[in-house]
């Protein structure tokens, strides 16, 4: 990452200097000016077709693709690695007494029991939540 940004800036400046046309606003119909302009465009085409220049572009693009995939992988791993908190699952405070924890467990277990689940919830989802509630209560 530390080398990609400066290298991209340098390459962008090279591309801008290649693309900068001599006499951008002036179109002279004389023979020496048109010859010079044709030579400039031929030189530009040769510069873009240079294998070393194409290799630089390919390496920079590959580097940026690699950095973006690495960043996405880190983002996905951060989403997966969440801390399991039994108090959060039960809906109780960390400083709650055992009676309050028991009451929260009973309320949530009645709400998410697979046989007494809400109508909109699938049975498998209710079972998964009920298992998590039971594990959190036993912890």
* pTM tops 0.85: no
Instruction: For residues 8 and 92, give the distance between their C-alpha atoms in angstroms, rounded to a whole number.
Output: 52
86-138, CATH topology level: Helix Hairpins (1.10.287)
pLDDT tens sequence across 107-130: 888 888 888 777 787 888 888 888
- Contacts for 80-85: CB closer than 8 Å, 24+ residues apart: none
Q: Where are the alpha helices (DSSP H) in 49-122?
A: 51-80, 86-90, 98-112
Torsion, CA 98, CA 99, CA 101, CA 103, rounded to 10: 160
* Residue 106 pLDDT: 87
pLDDT tens sequence across 19-70: 776 655 566 778 887 787 777 777 777 777 788 888 888 999 999 999 999 9
Q: Where are the domains of the chain?
A: 4-80, 86-138
């Amino acid at each position: 990452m530390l080398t990609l940004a400066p290298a991209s800036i340098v390459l962008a400046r090279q591309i801008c200097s290649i693309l900068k046309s001599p006499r951008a606003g002036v179109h002279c119909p004389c023979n020496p000016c048109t010859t010079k302009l044709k030579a400039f465009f031929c030189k530009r085409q040769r510069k873009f077709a240079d294998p070393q220049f194409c290799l630089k572009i390919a390496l920079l693009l590959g580097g940026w693709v690699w950095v973006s995939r690495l960043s996405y992988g880190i983002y996905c791993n951060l989403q997966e690695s969440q801390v399991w908190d039994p108090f959060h699952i039960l809906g109780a405070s960390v400083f709650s007494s055992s009676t309050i924890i028991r009451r929260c467990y009973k309320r949530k277990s009645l709400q998410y029991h697979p046989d007494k689940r809400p109508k909109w919830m699938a049975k498998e989802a209710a079972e998964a939540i009920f298992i998590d509630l039971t594990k959190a209560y036993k912890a």
